Amino acid sequence: MTGKDETAERTHRRGRWALAAVAALVCVVAVVFVLRAGCGRSPDDAALTIEREHTWGDDLPLTRVVVLFYPKTYGEILVGEPRRIIAGEGTAGLMKSTLVELGKGPSDEALISPFKKELKIRGVYSSFDGTVFVDLHAGVSEAIGKGMSEEIAAIKAIAGTLFYNFPQVNRIKLLVDGEPARSLSGHVDLSGFLYPEDWMETSGIEL
């Protein structure tokens, strides 16, 4: 190989090295750009991401929308009021949460609560045949008042709310301190079961 050829070969090699160096530099710049772009979120964006993760986290309580039924006046049909509640565990827990919320009274001023005091629920139990047992505390008579219309309105509210929100319920049995209730305040015979066809029709609620 002549001196002229060796010079040309060295020049060609230097050119290839230069191209390789330029390509490597471009790759480095591209990586740095991507990293900076990924880390360049504003504080608001980062806060929004954290907020979303917290909002939809598994540690937050499960909520459900139920319809609670209250009368406008005693003796009239009941009116449904949607309410978002924190659900108890399982179907029976959700039923109990629904009745506890029912006992707090309506938020609509046009409706009245058939409960003069907080409605205390000892527990709600369901069986495979669709029977639901609602166990009330012994002071339930004080919570609903002593008049016949007040007792009927309270039973309608309990029965209508459960039958409407839980169509799998075939019948309801009211208990007081774990024992079958004969009546809540002495006017309505509760020795049997509450059935949808009896209490939904008299409440004006359509399934």
Q: How far apart are CA 157 and CA 104, in angstroms?
A: 12
Residues 73, 32 share a domain: no
Report the candidate in 103, 126, 100 with the shortest Cα–Cα distance to residue 113. Answer: 103
Mean predicted confidence (pLDDT) in 173-192: 89
Residues 128, 88 share a domain: yes
Question: What's the pLDDT score for residue 205?
Answer: 72
**Mean pLDDT across the chain:** 76
Residue type (1 letter), 187: H
- pTM, two decimals, is 0.68
Mean predicted confidence (pLDDT) in 30-49: 45
CB atoms within 10 A of CB 80: 16
- Give phi and psi for 184, each to the nearest 5: -95, -40
Burial of 46 (0-12, 13-18, 19+ CB in 10 A): exposed
pLDDT for 2-37, tens place per residue? 544 554 455 555 545 544 544 554 444 444 444 444
Q: How far apart are CA 200 and CA 140, in angstroms?
A: 22
Residues 77, 35 share a domain: no
Q: How far apart are CA 203 and CA 97, in angstroms?
A: 22
Q: How far apart are CA 18 and CA 46, in angstroms?
A: 42
Residue type (1 letter), 40: G
Question: What's the pLDDT score for residue 157?
Answer: 92
Structural domain tally of the chain? Answer: 2
Q: Which of 50-54, 143-147, 198-202 has the lowest mean pLDDT?
A: 50-54
Question: What's the pLDDT score for residue 125?
Answer: 94
Domain that holds residue 188: 63-203
Q: Does position 51 have pLDDT exceeding 50, yes or no?
A: no
Residues 134, 85 share a domain: yes
Residues 72, 32 share a domain: no
Long-range contacts of 96-103 (CB under 8 A, 24+ apart): 96/121, 96/123, 96/124, 98/66, 98/68, 98/161, 98/162, 98/165, 99/124, 99/134, 99/158, 99/161, 99/162, 101/66, 101/68, 102/68, 102/69, 102/157, 102/158, 102/161, 103/143
pLDDT for 64-118, tens place per residue? 899 999 988 776 788 999 999 988 788 999 999 999 999 999 999 889 888 888 8
Question: What's the pLDDT score for residue 204?
Answer: 65
Residues 72, 169 share a domain: yes
- Strands 121-126, 78-86: pairing is unpaired
